[in-house]
Amino acid sequence: MDPEPIEEIEALVGDLVQASRVPAKRRQFSIKPTVDRLTALAYEHGLQPNVLRTLVVDVLTAPNILLDQANLGCLIRNLYPAAASVDDDITLAIVGCLGHGQRKPSLPVQALLLRWLVLVYHVLSTSALAVLSRSYAVLFNLIDTDGIRPQLCHVLALITRRKHVRPFRIQAALGLARQIGYHDAYLVGLFRVFKNYYPEFIMGDVTRSRASPFKHPDPSWRTHLDELRLAWQQNRLEGGRANLGANGIDLVDDAPYNGFRVRQNMLIGQGRSAKSVLPAVHTGYAQEDSVTLEEIHSAEDFVQHLENIELPSQMVAVLADPLLQKLLLLRPSDESFARVDRWLEECIASVVYGNRNLGYLGRGNIDELMELLEVVHEYITSTRTFPPVFHRFFGEILKHWDGKDRKTLIFESLSFVDVTTFAETYKAIFEPLEERLLKIIATSQLDLLTFYTLVLRQQTIKMKATDDSNGSNTDPSSVQAAAFIHALVQHVNDLVLALIQNTYELSLPPVLVAGGTSTRALLLILDFYEEVTIVLALRRDGVLACVQELIPLPKALYPLHFHHSPAIVSRLYAVLASYKRALESAIVHRPRRSASAALASAQPDTAAASQSQSQTQSQLQPLALPLTDHERARVNLFNGYLMDVCNCLWRSRAFSSTDTNALGCLVDVAVVGRLAGYVQGLLDQDLPLAAAFSLSHSPTLCLQATSYLRQLEDEAMESAAVDDSDNASPTPPLQRRHAGPITQASLSRLAESGGLRLSWQAYRLGLLVYLEKQGFGGIGSLMNNTIKNLMNTRASSGQA
């Protein structure tokens, strides 16, 4: 908040405090403009804690205040505590001003103050809530006051706990009801709260068939307050004073949304929603010495009473209450989750079969399922669990889903599904989702790939968490997860091929379909394979054992390799570098056999890593099991990828198939010959087709290569200018610049003609560093982990 509004508000409050002690006829100025300006600023910026305290304590609740009721009401309706939680002294001042007496505020003003307490109940500090709890007797003794009974009963309903419900209070409330009649909705609502805590309390038909009168007084006021508080906290973050409120209070712990208070339905808007249908957290049959969730207001309270907290009566409230979710995560209970499952089963059955005569779900039933989906999604993402009952729930949703409504919620929720085998999970969840998407939306393949990326990410997180907790990566759950990931990648490989084929058919020149569908599809493909590399980086035995099967298919790789975006090719090369490291690790961690078994087998060929060892060492040390023919073929395929990329970028031998394992980018020899002739007819005679995809000439990277050389030339000219002014023997300036394109021969000619002196090897090494600084680090990563000369250079320099 800007300092000018704060200073103006403080000055206006000071004037208001002075004027409130002076009779209206003796004031030198009208108080109306001051009140109007103050309320306008309070609505726009909110009130700081010191200003709020002054207004409430010294003006609104102070005795013998000489302001008229209209101005007092206008002030109360604009008390927006935007900066911090409401302190206990403010709450105490409001409690102290209630009741009858000449020095007390009028009953309408008292009613407005109680209403304000309800409005800001979610931002009351822990000490303020403690004040209200200790003042329960004072507040209860005032319910016979007609002018404030509705607001007072609402406050009592919010703060009532088991310790407050005593037989003598029940008798007193019943006596009042007999005097004024049982038609008072607010008194009946308070009876209902009492009955929740004291089930033996018998009221007959009085509390039945009536809606609760305790609804939020002004949802729009609450929304505006939340906006002010959010803007204020954002300003604190930008100002470097994150999370510190008045007097050093930590707003993260003291905020209303910190997850350490139960969610009250009475504080939710009046609109019907799935959350309002769910029961609130309430603990029935609680004893006076027991600890309930409703009494927890901070993280300290929760930790202190964690082992003694009573479970609530309606366990299904866990779907929408963050505090109950934390309790069940730290104190899991099979019985509790079984109760939630039964409630969900009944809820689904009532929605699905509630209109059995129609034989189908109506629009209203589908809307109810979708509203419940929001609550289920919140529960799944908060607890990171997927109870079995949700399988039926999502099964019903997928039957009637239009493929668009709440798509993100469905994807995120289903990504947490507990897997057994891929076949079972695919039949139960993935196949119905695919059928629904592929039948309805034209771009559903992209959505499907996004979903599978989410699934792989969650399985990776589970695998990492399981391995960390067990201290081993060979337990059955880790092995099962590795098998699932293997099958998932195999399945997505087919989807990737279909997606690339459809993308390139739809993205013909001159423009891409849908403003860049092709690029978006390729980025999503890279997102998935980057998730695969994260799994490989975990170095889990089960994953490494099948790493050869996780290699992308060639028809998916080469379209990415020849893409025009340097960001895409850089990410691709980073993925290939990660795969190479994983394959190397898999070879190292392969199961080994004994030396005697190795001698008995008498294999003529051994692994490349053991060829440099002597015959004696090979006899004494256990050897890794040799690769099977299929595994060897997959490794050779991957080596072919690396050879093709290096031939294109580094060795100027694009489309060569004569090197070991080289695939020639899967381009037919006849096609390569025709392309070579075409290039010779268009470009410089010194540039053959084989060099057209190098770092300097590639259509994807030629701009970066030229920019790098221009940067070196500019730096050399600046250095020469500095030397010319500072030294007696200055460095001669550059006589000419490189005209491009950059080749080994052109750099030699440039140096001989007075230009920049730069060797071909230094230029290429520097270009890799330049590309990394520009955000294209995947290119250098692959080259440095594949080219032997670069690997030796990095090893000698001690780099990773």
Rounded CA gap, 46 and 5, in Å? 10
pLDDT at 192: 83
Residue whose pair of structure tokens reads 């750099």 in the numeric block? 747
pLDDT at 258: 56
pLDDT at 644: 93
More confident: 476 or 635? 635
| Burial state string for 785-800 with b = 16 or more CB within 10 A and e = fewer than 16 | bbbeebeeeeeeeeee
**Cβ neighbours around 98 below 10 Å, total:** 23
**Cβ neighbours around 363 below 10 Å, total:** 8
- pLDDT-derived band at 209 (thresholds 50, 70, 90) equals very low
Burial of 381: CB neighbours in 10 Å, binned 0-12, 13-18, 19+: middle
Do 731 and 595 touch, CB atoms closer than 8 A? no
pLDDT at 285: 66
The whole-number average pLDDT for the span 247-269 is: 49
The whole-number average pLDDT for the span 136-141 is: 94
Q: What is the pLDDT of residues 116-127, one digit of tens each?
A: 999 999 888 888
pLDDT at residue 109 is higher than 90: yes
pLDDT at residue 204 is higher than 50: yes
Going by the DSSP 8-state scheme, the letter that residue 77 receives in this structure is T
pLDDT at residue 358 is higher than 80: no
Tell me the longest C-alpha to C-alpha distance in the chain.
115
pLDDT at 615: 42
pLDDT at 729: 57
Backbone angles phi, psi at 189, to 5 degrees: -60, -35
pLDDT at residue 596 is higher than 80: no
- pLDDT-derived band at 236 (thresholds 50, 70, 90) equals confident
pLDDT at 241: 45
Q: What is the pLDDT of residues 30-41, one digit of tens each?
A: 889 999 999 999
pLDDT at 248: 38
pLDDT at 539: 82
- pLDDT-derived band at 207 (thresholds 50, 70, 90) equals low
The whole-number average pLDDT for the span 388-399 is: 82
- pLDDT-derived band at 249 (thresholds 50, 70, 90) equals very low
pLDDT at residue 349 is higher than 80: no
pLDDT at residue 242 is higher than 50: no
pLDDT at residue 510 is higher than 50: no
Q: What is the pLDDT of residues 700-752, one digit of tens each?
A: 999 999 999 999 988 888 887 776 665 655 567 778 888 878 888 888 988 88
- Range of lowest pLDDT (237-246, 289-298, 349-358, 557-566): 237-246
pLDDT at 609: 34
Rounded CA gap, 347 and 353, in Å? 10
Paired strand residues for 728: none
- pLDDT-derived band at 155 (thresholds 50, 70, 90) equals very high
More confident: 277 or 183? 183
Do 103 and 63 touch, CB atoms closer than 8 A? yes
pLDDT at residue 471 is higher than 70: no
pLDDT at residue 237 is higher than 70: no
Rounded CA gap, 165 and 152, in Å? 16
The whole-number average pLDDT for the span 522-534 is: 92
Going by the DSSP 8-state scheme, the letter that residue 105 receives in this structure is P
- Where helices occur in 551-651 by DSSP H, the ranges are 554-561, 566-588, 595-601, 615-620, 629-649
Measured at the CA of 253, the angle between CA 251 and CA 257, to 5 degrees, comes to 85
Sign of torsion over alpha carbons 617, 622, 628, 634: negative
Rounded CA gap, 610 and 616, in Å? 12
pLDDT at residue 622 is higher than 70: no
Q: What is the pLDDT of residues 452-466, one digit of tens each?
A: 999 999 998 888 887
pLDDT at residue 150 is higher than 50: yes
pLDDT at 189: 86
Residue whose pair of structure tokens reads 């000439």 in the numeric block? 697
Q: Which amino acid is at 611?
A: Q
Residue whose pair of structure tokens reads 């989906």 in the numeric block? 373
- pLDDT-derived band at 255 (thresholds 50, 70, 90) equals very low
Pairing between β-strand 623-624 and β-strand 592-593 as defined by DSSP bridges? antiparallel
Q: How far is CA 25 from the centre of its chain?
A: 61
- pLDDT-derived band at 528 (thresholds 50, 70, 90) equals very high
Mean residue pLDDT of the chain comes to 80
The two three-digit tokens of residue 469, written as one number: 């907790």
The whole-number average pLDDT for the span 40-50 is: 91
Q: What is the pLDDT of residues 416-425, one digit of tens each?
A: 988 878 899 9
pLDDT at residue 565 is higher than 80: yes
The two three-digit tokens of residue 152, written as one number: 């007072």
Q: What is the pLDDT of residues 61-87, one digit of tens each?
A: 998 888 889 999 999 999 999 877 888
Rounded CA gap, 715 and 733, in Å? 11
Rounded CA gap, 372 and 543, in Å? 37
- pLDDT-derived band at 532 (thresholds 50, 70, 90) equals very high
Q: What is the pLDDT of residues 481-497, one digit of tens each?
A: 888 999 999 999 999 99
